[in-house]
């Protein structure tokens, strides 16, 4: 029962991100696009390293810990 | 198209092909073994080292937090409609990102590897891409995203 709810929550949040990004592009507000928000997080050294190490971890998690079926 | 554009496009095509070939090879490696761990780590290390010399002007954490607090204040208190709308959009981004992380953590800690169908995490969802071509495409997307991150 919780599975579909969690999937719906992910879908709604992804849709919200796409909508916010689209709205910011439409209004010409570059700092409010998905890229602009990530750039804002990367403005500090902590944010920069958290995102870079997070990206590295994600790659390891998705590609080194599982294989094609 | 200028010669520079042609060179840039050719370099981009070669890089994309090399990334895809590397991804194809990597997704065929045995999981949970050191060769796959090393192979996944090579692109991030190379990219981070290549860009580490760049002079990145970082904002002090305190200023960054002040920026967020001021944006939250503007979202409720600003009398200028445009400014208030922009601040609200920024706050909405924050809420969406925090909610996304919360749902992921909730699913991760509430479930176990045996009950992932009831508590799906992002990696469980992505794990359904189990063909080699699909995983190679995911790897290339991950690589492109990382390339974008290190150039910030």
Encode pLDDT of B69-124 as tens digits.
988 888 888 778 788 888 889 999 999 999 999 999 999 998 887 788 899 998 88
User: Alpha helix locations (H) across chain B?
Assistant: 3-26, 34-52, 61-77, 81-110, 122-126, 132-151
Least confident of A34-43, B74-83, B130-139: B74-83
Q: Please check whether residue A63 is in contact with residue B40, taking contact to mean a CB–CB distance below 8 angstroms.
A: yes
Alpha carbon of A13: minimum distance to chain B alpha carbons (Å): 6
CA–CA distance, B90 with A68 (Å, rounded to integer):
39
Contacts of A45 in chain B (CB under 8 A): 58, 61
**Closest CA–CA distance from residue A3 to any residue of chain B (Å):** 4
Identity of the residue in B130, B132, B142 whose CB atom sits nearest the CB atom of A58: B142
Which residues does chain B have within 8 Å of residue A56's beta carbon, measured at their own beta carbons? 41, 44, 146
CB of B126 within 8 Å of any CB in chain A? yes
pLDDT confidence bin for A21, thresholds 50/70/90: very high
Token reading at B135: 């995983």
Instruction: Give the nearest chain A residue to B105 (CA atoms).
Output: A6
Q: Which of residues 42-71 of B touch A (CB under 8 A)?
A: 43-44, 48, 56, 58-61, 64
**Banded pLDDT at A67 (limits 50, 70, 90):** low
Helices A2-27 & B81-110 angle (0-180, nearest 10): 150
What residues in A contact B123, CB-CB < 8 Å?
61-62
Q: What is the pLDDT of residue A26?
A: 94
Predicted confidence (pLDDT) at residue B5 exceeds the cutoff of 80: yes
Work out the end-to-end distance of chain B between its first and last CA atoms, rounded to an integer number of angstroms. 27
pLDDT of residue A14: 96
**Interchain CB distance below 8 Å, A52 and B122:** no
Which of the pair, A69 or B39, is modelled with greater confidence?
Answer: B39
Q: Which residue of A has its CA nearest to B23?
A: A63
User: Does the distance separating the beta carbons of A48 and B59 come in below 8 Å?
Assistant: no
Judged against a pLDDT cut of 80, whether residue B68 lies above it is answered with yes
ipTM: 0.86
pLDDT above 70: residue A68: no
In this structure, what token pair is assigned to residue B106? 């909730």
pLDDT value of position A66: 64
- Quickly state the pLDDT bin for B56 (edges 50, 70, 90): confident
**Could you give the CA distance from residue A56 to residue A10 in angstroms, rounded to a whole number?**
22
Percentage of chain B modeled with pLDDT above 70: 99
Using CB atoms, pick whichever of A1, A7, A64 lies closest to residue B40: A64
Closest among A54, A36, A56, A1 to B101, alpha carbons compared: A54
Cα B73 from Cα B139, distance rounded (Å): 40
In this predicted model, what pLDDT tens digit does every residue of B14-46 receive, in sequence order?
A: 988 999 999 999 988 887 788 888 999 999 998
Q: Could you give the percent of chain A with pLDDT greater than 70? A: 94
pLDDT given for residue B30 in this prediction? 84
Mean pLDDT score of chain B, rounded to an integer? 87
């Amino acid at each position: 029962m919780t599975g579909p709810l969690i999937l719906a929550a992910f879908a709604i949040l992804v849709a919200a991100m796409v909508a916010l990004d689209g709205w910011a592009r439409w209004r010409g507000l570059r700092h409010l696009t998905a890229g602009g928000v990530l750039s804002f997080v990367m403005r500090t050294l902590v944010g920069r390293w958290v995102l870079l190490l997070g990206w590295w971890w994600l790659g390891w998690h998705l590609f080194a810990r599982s294989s094609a079926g | 198209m200028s010669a520079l554009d042609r060179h840039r496009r050719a370099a981009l095509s070669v890089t994309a092909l090399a990334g895809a070939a590397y991804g194809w090879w990597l997704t065929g490696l045995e999981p949970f073994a050191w060769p796959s761990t090393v192979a996944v780590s090579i692109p991030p290390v190379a990219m981070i080292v290549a860009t580490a010399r760049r002079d990145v002007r970082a904002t002090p954490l305190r200023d960054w937090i002040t920026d967020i607090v001021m944006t939250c204040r503007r979202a409720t208190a600003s009398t200028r409609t445009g400014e208030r709308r922009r601040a609200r959009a920024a706050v909405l981004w924050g809420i969406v990102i925090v909610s996304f992380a919360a749902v992921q953590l909730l699913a991760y800690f509430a479930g176990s590897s045996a009950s992932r169908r009831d508590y799906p995490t992002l990696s469980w969802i992505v794990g359904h891409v189990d063909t080699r071509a699909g995983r190679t495409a995911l790897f290339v997307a991950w690589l492109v995203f990382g390339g974008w991150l290190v150039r910030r």
